[in-house]
């Protein structure tokens, strides 16, 4: 039973944060931000917005793309996020209520920027188990603007807010997900993260004063890891399918930053005309990055039946994933 994308949706907030603003926050010249990251603008949600609020329009758009009959047979809701509304309950449970759904299982996945790829694998497993309906709604949503130290040029220059969603269901043989590869290298969990707020470092006044509620990242270590693991997973995924780079019609990579992605594409020998980019204008939207970029390339030039799309991402943990999708 092949599983494929039946409908897609996305949403970004209205507020645009340009490099002039980043320069004011960090004291770095606009030219430094542009040259080092290739990110020109990013979107921030307004104060008082929760991740489920950002996810709601994307989820509705994906649901609006299918019939009432399909919506009635929805079996599960999965939300990939590392910036949940609250520590508990899950953002998926809150989003389920906002969508007017009930009873079907709803839960979160936290694989940071790899969350959407992890969600694809989980959703595929749910559908193939045939125990929870015939369709799964998968949402990737994050609001990293809420965990940014705005004086930290290494992070605030990169990240933005956004949400993307896909409705997954059975498709004919030869279409849908052909391979999904996932890895976690916990040895490198310290490369990125938020130290405060969990059981190891409760978010008390002392932790907050030390800035432990902010996201931190070892940019050089992440870059080196990303370039290495993306190359390996891309090769393994293509090998699973008996394909070469030239057989892929479009590449949808996690938009960590424009410069990193350009380096990887060049090093891998990928035709840049086949690579979708949203990082220049949306930045790194974390778990939303892959579905947002997939939707953007589909809007710009609609995917045709039979086109092959390779998706890949790297995230905190360190986590990584890749998938080969034949569009239906």
Active site residues: 113, 254, 284
- Tokens of residue 9, six digits: 């949706």
What is the rounded distance in angstroms from the CA atom of residue 55 to the CA atom of residue 5? Answer: 18
By the 8 A CB rule, do 44 and 160 touch?
A: yes
According to DSSP, the β-strands at 15-18 and 176-184 are: unpaired
165 contacts 291 by C-beta, under 8 angstroms: yes
Nearest CA to 95 among 130, 120, 68, 58? 58
- Do residues 246 and 5 make contact, with C-beta atoms less than 8 angstroms apart? no
String of DSSP letters for 100-161: T--SS-EEEE--GGGHHHHHHHHHHHHHHHT-S-SEEEEEEEEEGGGG--TT-HHHHTTB-E
Beta strands of the chain (E only): which ranges?
3-11, 15-18, 41-44, 74-80, 106-109, 135-143, 161-170, 176-184, 192-194, 215-217, 250-253, 308-315, 319-326
Within 8 A by CB and 6+ apart from 27, the residues are 151, 153
C-alpha to C-alpha distance for 45 and 146, rounded to whole angstroms: 9
Q: By C-alpha distance, which of 57, 83, 88 is closest to 285?
A: 83
């Amino acid at each position: 039973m092949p599983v494929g994308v039946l409908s897609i949706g996305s949403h970004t907030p209205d507020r645009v944060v340009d490099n002039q603003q980043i320069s004011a926050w960090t004291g770095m010249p606009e030219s430094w931000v542009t040259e080092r990251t290739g990110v020109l603008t990013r979107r921030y949600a307004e104060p008082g917005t929760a991740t489920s609020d950002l996810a709601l329009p994307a989820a509705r758009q994906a649901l609006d793309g299918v019939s009432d009959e399909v919506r009635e047979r929805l079996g599960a809701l999965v939300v990939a996020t590392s910036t949940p509304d609250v520590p508990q309950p899950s953002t998926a449970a809150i989003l389920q209520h906002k969508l007017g759904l009930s009873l079907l299982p709803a839960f979160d996945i936290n694989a940071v920027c790899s969350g959407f790829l992890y969600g694809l694998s989980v959703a595929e497993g749910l559908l193939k188990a045939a125990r929870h309906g015939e369709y799964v709604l998968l949402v990737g949503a994050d609001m990293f603007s809420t965990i940014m130290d705005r004086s930290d040029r290494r992070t605030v220059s990169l990240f933005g807010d956004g949400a993307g969603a896909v409705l997954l269901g059975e498709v004919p043989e030869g279409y849908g997900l052909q391979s999904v590869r996932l890895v976690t290298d916990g040895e490198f969990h310290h490369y990125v993260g938020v130290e405060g707020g969990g059981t190891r470092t409760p978010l008390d006044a002392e932790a907050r004063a030390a800035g432990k509620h902010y996201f931190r990242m070892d940019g050089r270590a992440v870059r080196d890891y990303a370039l290495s693991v993306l190359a390996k997973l891309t090769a393994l995924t293509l090998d699973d399918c008996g394909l070469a780079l030239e057989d892929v019609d479009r590449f949808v990579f996690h938009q960590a930053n424009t410069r990193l992605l350009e380096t990887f594409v060049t090093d891998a020998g990928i035709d840049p005309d086949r690579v979708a980019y949203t990082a220049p204008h949306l930045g790194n939207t974390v778990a939303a990055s892959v579905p947002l970029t997939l939707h953007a390339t589909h809007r710009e030039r609609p995917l045709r039946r039979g086109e092959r799309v390779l998706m890949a991402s790297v995230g905190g943990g360190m986590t990584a994933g890749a998938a080969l999708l034949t569009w239906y």
